[in-house]
Structure 1
Amino acid sequence: MTPVILVTFAGRQKRMEILTQYVRRAMDLGIIDEWHIWDFTRSAEDHAWVSREFGPVRYMGAKVPYQPVGSVSRQASFRTSARIRHDLHITLTPHDRPNEHYEFVVGGWKNTHSAMRKIPREKLHNPERGDDTNLWSAPTPGVLSPGRANDVVLSLDAAGTPTLHVNNVTIGSWPELAFSAGASVQMRGGWGADLELCDAGAATRRYIGNPNEQMPYWQAYDYYATQLAAFSDAVFLKCDDDIVYLDIDELDGFIQFRRNNPHYFVVSANVVNNGVCAYFQQAAGSIPPGVGHFELPPGGFGGSLWESAERAVKLHDFFLGQGGRTLALPARVVDWTERQSINFIAWLGRDLVHMALPQGDDEHALTIGVPTLLQRPTAIYSDFTVSHLSFGPQERGWDPSPLVAAYEALMRERLFPADEKPQLALRAAG
């Protein structure tokens, strides 16, 4: 059976904790096989939460600073499998000397040399800080292979001397360094080299995009498109981090529909707080006029709902008052050829051949640009409902805490019987 992979661009902790409960239940039920969390966080607090909450790091963009990946001791070597073309950076920090950091550069200088240096703490997390004075260097031409994942082994002997092996070749051994108490290990790529740790194969795993990029999401699509062979049989789901309701009972039906209808390029869930969906929900009589008038956004983008917190709150309150009942569309499937918000969509892995997107507007590319090129429609699937908390313009001067609390209550009612407790207690809203 083809694997089902959920991709989420993370992550705002206050917005994402409810989604986390739904996804973990879907994974427990075997509906979703893998959850790929793309860390595009903008605050240190959210990055720390995502790092704690969501499994091992699998991928880092070339500008991502060092990330913890494990430890090494005299009893246990550090081993990993790293896909990188050049400039693999590894740092050891002795457990008994936490202010010292020793950096090993493997395949630097366009995969021609390797080096070891001591670096100060203030430079540790600057991925483009320039060269520091090397304590050791040696020619290592072609040490990293671009055609396979590179086997990396760091070991300590009885005296704590570190030895580094790459692809069964000894890069160096440094008796002047003593790590008898062991050391923590961090890794990164650098100087244009992305790093993938191929042994990080947990069902939930993290992918860290380059920080501080405008419209950074192309990095995720590009990653999957460049590994078409690995993902061509998968069904992909992509959802925003602020999906606060997900109809678990209908999720598998949505996936089966996606799998069985390959002529659509992307298929959207039936989304609460989505301009195009709201128009069709009202056209079908699912939203009464008293909740508001929801026009079809011009060209499928923007519109009065997208701009207004007040209209969004009224729509959310109506949906919550219905107990999460589906706001049906005029038909089970609505074919669509204009733009639509991609709050929760699905595509087939085979279509990654068309998804090496440039930096820019991924929503336009996935719902207008590529479908127009391929002359394939998109669709909205009525039976599977999710609720999307807010768009950027709706958030101006709006405190969503009461809605978050209400959606948390609905989540608990749906997922946890009265005699059960959630595995992860969400903090009280606000």
Structure 2
Amino acid sequence: MAPIILITFAGRRNRMEILTNYVQAALAAGIIDEWHVWDFTRSEEDRVWVSENFGPARFMHPDTPYVSAGQVTPMAPFRMDAGIAADLHLALLPKNDPDNFYEFVIGGWDNQLSAVRKMPRVELATFARDHVPRMADFSTPGILSPSLPNSVVMSIDRNGHPVLTANGMKIGPIADVDVSSGADVMVRGGWGADLEILNVNDKIRRYIGPRNEKYPYHHTYAYYSKYANRFSDAIFLKCDDDIVYMNLDRLGDFINFRRDNPTPFLVSANVVNNGVCAHWQQRSGSLPIEVGHFEMPPGGLNGSLWESGKRANALHDYFLQTPDKRLPLHQPFIEVKERVSINFISWLGQDLKHFGFRRLGDEKALAVDMPRLLNRPVAIYSDFIVSHLSFGPQEAELHVDRLVSAYSDLMREQLAA
């Protein structure tokens, strides 16, 4: 059976905690198989929360500082299968030396050399190394493979010294390093090299994107496009981090519809607080005019709902008051030619061959450019409804705290049923 993979761009803690409960329930029920949480956080507080709550890191952009990967003891080595072409960095944090760490660089200097340095732990968050002398270096030409998993093993010999092996090549022991009490292990890539830890296969895994790009999301699509063969049989779901309601009873139906209907390039959930969906909800008789008039946004872009927190408040309040939490459309699915906000969408892994776009806005590329190029529609599936908290322009007038509280109560009620 094709794996069902959910992707979320994380993460604002005050928005994402509700979604987390729904997704964990979907994982526990076997409705989805994997949750790939892409860390595009902008604040240090959110970054810490994501790193502490969303599984081990599977993928790291080159500008990612060290992340925890495990530990090594005299009885148990540290093992890792690394996808990286050069500049793999391992940090050993000895239990018997709380102030310093040892950095092992594997395949540095254009995959020609490997080296060891000793540094204070404050340097774990930095990248500059010109000021740090090497304790030892080794000629290791071609030690890392750009195309195959790199087998990395860190062990401790009987004298308490670390011994590093990469693809069968031994580096060490390093007699000047004492890790006889064991050590924590951290890893990162470096100098332009992404790092993928291939043996991390937890249901919830973290993918760490670049830190300083305003619109970094194309990196996600580039990753899946690069490994299209690996994911060719998968069914992908992608949702915003501020999805605050999800009808789990209909999520399986949504996935089955996606599987059984390959013609649409994208299939969208029926989304509360989405301009195109709101228009069709009203046109189908599910949204009375007393809630507001929801026009079709010109070309599907922006529109009066997108820019108005007051209109979003009214729409959320109406949905929260509906007894069955449904806003059905007049037919099971509707094909649209307008640009649809991609708050909760699905695509097929077999279409990843079309995802090689770079630095384009992901919504325009996915909802407009590629469907038009391939002459394939975008469909809205009526029976699976989710609620999307807000668009940026709505924030000033949106009753965020009140709505988050109401949706939290609804989530607990739904998951307890």
What's the TM-score bracket when you normalise by the shorter of the two chains?
over 0.9
Q: Residue type of the partner of 1:124?
A: L
In structure 2, the partner of 1:133 is 133
Q: Does 1:279 align with 2:302?
A: no
Q: Contact 1:128/1:190 (CA < 8 Å) preserved in 2? A: no
Q: Residue type of the partner of 2:284?
A: A
Do the aligned partners of residues 92 and 2 (structure 1) sit closer, same or farther apart at CA in structure 2, a change above 3 Å counting? same
Cα deviation code 1:209-230 (max 9, x no counterpart) = 0111111111111111111111
Do the aligned partners of residues 131 and 255 (structure 1) sit closer, same or farther apart at CA in structure 2, a change above 3 Å counting? farther
Query: In structure 2, what is the Cα distance between the partners aligned to 1:399 and 1:163?
Result: 57
Query: In structure 1, what is the Cα distance between the partners aligned to 2:313 and 2:306?
Result: 12
Cα deviation code 1:175-234 (max 9, x no counterpart) = 111011211111000111100001101111111101111111111111111111110000
Q: Contact 1:69/1:186 (CA < 8 Å) preserved in 2? A: yes
Do the aligned partners of residues 243 and 401 (structure 1) sit closer, same or farther apart at CA in structure 2, a change above 3 Å counting? same
Do the aligned partners of residues 264 and 166 (structure 1) sit closer, same or farther apart at CA in structure 2, a change above 3 Å counting? same
In structure 1, the partner of 2:318 is 318
Do the aligned partners of residues 291 and 62 (structure 1) sit closer, same or farther apart at CA in structure 2, a change above 3 Å counting? same
In structure 2, the partner of 1:188 is 188
Q: Contact 2:310/2:397 (CA < 8 Å) preserved in 1? A: no
Q: For residues 243-322 of structure 1, what are the structure 2 equivalents within 5 Å? A: 243-322=243-322
Shift of the alpha carbon at 1:410?
0.8
Query: In structure 1, what is the Cα distance between the partners aligned to 2:172 and 2:157?
Result: 13
Query: In structure 2, what is the Cα distance between the partners aligned to 1:324 and 1:82?
Result: 48
Query: In structure 2, what is the Cα distance between the partners aligned to 1:281 and 1:397?
Result: 23
Query: In structure 2, what is the Cα distance between the partners aligned to 1:117 and 1:78?
Result: 19
Cα deviation code 1:289-325 (max 9, x no counterpart) = 1111111111111111111111101100000000452
Q: For residues 373-388 of structure 1, what are the structure 2 equivalents within 5 Å? A: 373-388=373-388
Query: In structure 1, what is the Cα distance between the partners aligned to 2:398 and 2:284?
Result: 29
324-333 vs 144-153, greater mean Cα deviation: 324-333
Shift of the alpha carbon at 1:131?
6.3
Q: Residue type of the partner of 2:30?
A: G
Query: In structure 2, what is the Cα distance between the partners aligned to 1:353 and 1:315?
Result: 38
Shift of the alpha carbon at 1:393?
1.1
In structure 2, the partner of 1:148 is 148
The sequence identity of aligned pairs, in percent, is 54
In structure 1, the partner of 2:115 is 115
Q: Residue type of the partner of 1:220?
A: T
Q: Contact 1:323/1:410 (CA < 8 Å) preserved in 2? A: no
Shift of the alpha carbon at 1:397?
5.5
Q: Does 1:124 align with 2:107?
A: no
Q: Contact 1:66/1:127 (CA < 8 Å) preserved in 2? A: no
Do the aligned partners of residues 128 and 382 (structure 1) sit closer, same or farther apart at CA in structure 2, a change above 3 Å counting? farther
Q: Contact 1:164/1:173 (CA < 8 Å) preserved in 2? A: yes
Query: In structure 2, what is the Cα distance between the partners aligned to 1:126 and 1:307?
Result: 41
In structure 1, the partner of 2:58 is 58
Q: Contact 2:312/2:398 (CA < 8 Å) preserved in 1? A: no
Shift of the alpha carbon at 1:100?
0.2
In structure 2, the partner of 1:23 is 23
Do the aligned partners of residues 41 and 130 (structure 1) sit closer, same or farther apart at CA in structure 2, a change above 3 Å counting? farther
Do the aligned partners of residues 198 and 369 (structure 1) sit closer, same or farther apart at CA in structure 2, a change above 3 Å counting? same
Do the aligned partners of residues 70 and 337 (structure 1) sit closer, same or farther apart at CA in structure 2, a change above 3 Å counting? same
In structure 2, the partner of 1:341 is 341
Query: In structure 1, what is the Cα distance between the partners aligned to 2:300 and 2:156?
Result: 60
In structure 2, the partner of 1:198 is 198
Query: In structure 1, what is the Cα distance between the partners aligned to 2:185 and 2:311?
Result: 50
Q: Residue type of the partner of 2:277?
A: C
Query: In structure 1, what is the Cα distance between the partners aligned to 2:348 and 2:128?
Result: 37
Query: In structure 2, what is the Cα distance between the partners aligned to 1:27 and 1:5?
Result: 10
Q: Contact 1:155/1:164 (CA < 8 Å) preserved in 2? A: yes
Q: SS of 1:307's equivalent?
A: coil
Query: In structure 1, what is the Cα distance between the partners aligned to 2:81 and 2:397?
Result: 47
Gaps of 5+ in 2: none
Structure 1-normalised TM-score? 0.95
Q: Contact 1:63/1:128 (CA < 8 Å) preserved in 2? A: no
Q: Contact 1:275/1:302 (CA < 8 Å) preserved in 2? A: yes
Gaps of 5+ in 1: 418-430
Q: Residue type of the partner of 1:342?
A: I
Query: In structure 2, what is the Cα distance between the partners aligned to 1:130 and 1:235?
Result: 46
Q: For residues 3-14 of structure 1, what are the structure 2 equivalents within 5 Å? A: 3-14=3-14
Matched residues, number = 417
Q: Does 1:409 align with 2:409?
A: yes
Q: Residue type of the partner of 1:303?
A: G
Query: In structure 1, what is the Cα distance between the partners aligned to 2:326 and 2:399?
Result: 26
Do the aligned partners of residues 282 and 49 (structure 1) sit closer, same or farther apart at CA in structure 2, a change above 3 Å counting? same
Q: Contact 1:291/1:314 (CA < 8 Å) preserved in 2? A: yes
Shift of the alpha carbon at 1:121?
3.1
Tell me how large the CA RMSD over aligned residues is.
1.2
Shift of the alpha carbon at 1:157?
1.6
Do the aligned partners of residues 198 and 172 (structure 1) sit closer, same or farther apart at CA in structure 2, a change above 3 Å counting? same
Do the aligned partners of residues 320 and 147 (structure 1) sit closer, same or farther apart at CA in structure 2, a change above 3 Å counting? same
Q: Contact 2:91/2:102 (CA < 8 Å) preserved in 1? A: yes
Structure 2-normalised TM-score? 0.98
